[in-house]
Amino acid sequence: MDLFDVSEEKNFHGKPLADRMRPRTLDEFIGQEQIVGRGKLLRRAIEADQLSAMIFFGPPGTGKTTLSKIIANTTSAHFEQINAVTSGVGEIRTITSEAKDRLKMSVQKTLLFIDEIHRFNKSQQDALLPYVEDGTVILIGATTESPMFEINRALLSRSRLFRFEPLTDGHITKALQSAIDDPERGFGNYEVQAETDAIEHLVDVANGDARTALNALELAVLTTNPDENGVLNITLEIAEESIQQRVLQYDKKGDNHYDTISAFIKSIRGSDPDATLYWLAKMIYAGEDPRFIARRLYVHAAEDVGLADPNALLIAQAAAHAVDFIGMPEARIPLAEAALYLATAPKSNAVITAIDSALQTVKNEKIGQVPVHLRDAHYTGAKELGSGAGYKYPHDFQDGFVPQQYLPDHLLHKKFFHPTERGYEKSVSRRLDYFEERIRKGK
């Protein structure tokens, strides 16, 4: 018997292992205890066959389609399933027309499961809306994207949202062991011995995705020849060959994108260099636009470090230039250097407070006149109008400073900038105190 024959025999059901091992009942369902655990709202609704429109969203391989199939096997409603990639408005109209007839003739509801519902464009979602609203169909939509970005607000407002979290290591381990032991749908009729390290590797790299782990296990079994005792030994080396690279769930326009950049920036603000590097590495690994990362570094060099370390802005600028000048993957190094510099620099947001305070004053208070001595005296006729008269040139005085009025009359005692005692701003604060003292003494 050659390897091809062995593979054919092992793949006895034809369907992929992940599909064969789908849980068939709520009791078999793995994970998502927060929404289908005993006593939870969704479980009660399924068991009572009292369902309303709902959207399942979360990473791949976490049970969205599986739970919809369990509902299909549980409900008394007629079940229809379509995929948004291959379906259009015409199919929606056919299904809803039949659903109306079914409801009228036999008082039977129709449950419509739409996989990858985020693939429907606005007009397709609008075509579905009236039938969801009047109860012609009970919608179950599944998506790996954030519904807040991909689903129409009107459809969202009529649906209950259920977030599916990545499965835990324990969940994935349970799924793999079930596949090894199950004689009906898995490999229970074969002598499969999987090393603990091999299982742990599959679990680790699967990253919460049961489908990925089961696909890797299937590949490992199908490509392993039995030893002289008929045992299929799945070693760590075989597991590593079967699942070689971790796949990250990272939607560049959705909530995962924004959550990750938020964690990155907050780690910088919180002065945690290790967390900063981790979130930076996640974005780089997932293929995030390095220009986007560079722009965020640029912004937060001013926003979170500010004048506590003015060099931060220059370092961020250099990293942004490096992204365009040398490109990836080399630009990962200056990006990391800039991120680490910002994370370990002294922090101050006094610049934000200062400019925002000044903007609010300009917006909410009257606009004062420019003091005469500050006005431009260079254009023709300006001096005849008195512009610039009485201006004192600071470089002509001690320390390059001389007390004189710079704000409009009604803002003479207004303070916008309040430097902190951190980093370079401490020196700025001392200098301003010195100038204030000079002003009080009139020198």
- Tens-digit pLDDT profile for residues 186-211: 999 889 999 999 999 899 888 888 99
Residue 148 covered by a domain: yes
| CA-wise closest residue to 428 among 418, 416, 437, 443 | 418
Which residue, 218, 242, 266, sits at the end of a domain? 242
Residue 83 covered by a domain: yes
Phi, psi of 420, rounded to the nearest 5 degrees: -85, 180
User: Are residue 138 and residue 179 in the same domain, yes or no?
Assistant: no
User: Are residue 223 and residue 340 in the same domain, yes or no?
Assistant: no
Question: What integer pLDDT is reported at residue 2 of this predicted model?
Answer: 44
Question: What integer pLDDT is reported at residue 365 of this predicted model?
Answer: 86
Say which residue the tokens 């939607």 belong to: 251
Question: What integer pLDDT is reported at residue 5 of this predicted model?
Answer: 45
Question: What integer pLDDT is reported at residue 276 of this predicted model?
Answer: 94
Residue 352 covered by a domain: no
User: Are residue 49 and residue 159 in the same domain, yes or no?
Assistant: yes
Which residue, 290, 311, 344, sits at the end of a domain? 344
- The region of weakest confidence among 161-170, 198-207, 271-280, 374-383 is 374-383
Q: Which amino acid belongs to residue 340? A: L
More confident of the two residues 4 and 251:
251
Q: Which two tokens stand for residue 113?
A: 């499961």
SS3 for the chain, per residue?
CCHHHHHHHHCCCCCCHHHHCCCCCCCCCCCCHHHHCCCCHHHHHHHCCCCCCEEEECCCCCCHHHHHHHHHHHCCCEEEEEECCCCCHHHHHHHHHHHHHHHHHHCCCEEEEEECHHHCCHHHHHHHHHHHHCCCEEEEEEECCCHHHHCCHHHHHCCEEEECCCCCHHHHHHHHHHHHHCCCCCCCCCEEEECHHHHHHHHHHHCCCHHHHHHHHHHHHHCCCCCCCCEEEECHHHHHHHCCCCCCCCCCCCHHHHHHHHHHHHHHHCCCHHHHHHHHHHHHHCCCCHHHHHHHHHHHHHHHHHHHCCHHHHHHHHHHHHHHHCCCCCCHHHHHHHHHHHHHCCCCCHHHHHHHHHHHHHHHCCCCCCCHHHCCCCCCCCHHHCCCCCCCCHHHCHHHCCCCCCCCHHHCCCCCCCCCCCCHHHHHHHHHHHHHHHHHHCC
User: Are residue 223 and residue 284 in the same domain, yes or no?
Assistant: no
pLDDT level of residue 249 (50, 70, 90 thresholds)? low
Q: CA–CA distance from 352 to each of 183, 237, 271, 338, 421 (Å)? A: 65, 54, 19, 21, 16
CB of 112 within 8 A of CB of 137?
yes
265 pLDDT above the threshold of 90: yes
3 pLDDT above the threshold of 50: no
Q: Which amino acid belongs to residue 219? A: L
Mind listing the pLDDT tens digit for each residue in 367-401?
A: 888 888 888 888 777 777 888 888 888 898 888 88
> What pTM did the predictor assign?
0.60
Question: What integer pLDDT is reported at residue 90 of this predicted model?
Answer: 84
Q: State how far Cα 443 lies from the chain centre.
A: 57
Provide the domain count of the chain. 4
CB of 177 within 8 A of CB of 170?
no
User: Are residue 184 and residue 127 in the same domain, yes or no?
Assistant: no
Mind listing the pLDDT tens digit for each residue in 321-331?
A: 999 888 888 99
User: Are residue 404 and residue 287 in the same domain, yes or no?
Assistant: no
| CA-wise closest residue to 369 among 417, 326, 412, 323 | 412
Rounded to an integer, the average pLDDT of 276-284 is 91
- For position 377, which CATH number holds? 1.10.3710.10
Rounded to an integer, the average pLDDT of 1-14 is 48
Question: Taken in order 209, 211, 217, 219, is the CA torsion positive or negative?
Answer: negative
- Per the structure, the complete domain to which residue 400 belongs is given by 369-441
Which residue, 242, 274, 293, sits at the end of a domain? 242
Rounded to an integer, the average pLDDT of 61-74 is 91
Mean pLDDT rounded to a whole number for the chain:
87
251 pLDDT above the threshold of 70: no
User: Are residue 104 and residue 205 in the same domain, yes or no?
Assistant: no
User: Are residue 121 and residue 217 in the same domain, yes or no?
Assistant: no
User: Are residue 156 and residue 189 in the same domain, yes or no?
Assistant: no
User: Are residue 269 and residue 328 in the same domain, yes or no?
Assistant: yes
User: Are residue 60 and residue 146 in the same domain, yes or no?
Assistant: yes
Mind listing the pLDDT tens digit for each residue in 76-123?
A: 889 999 888 888 788 888 998 999 999 888 888 899 999 989 888 888
User: Are residue 173 and residue 153 in the same domain, yes or no?
Assistant: no
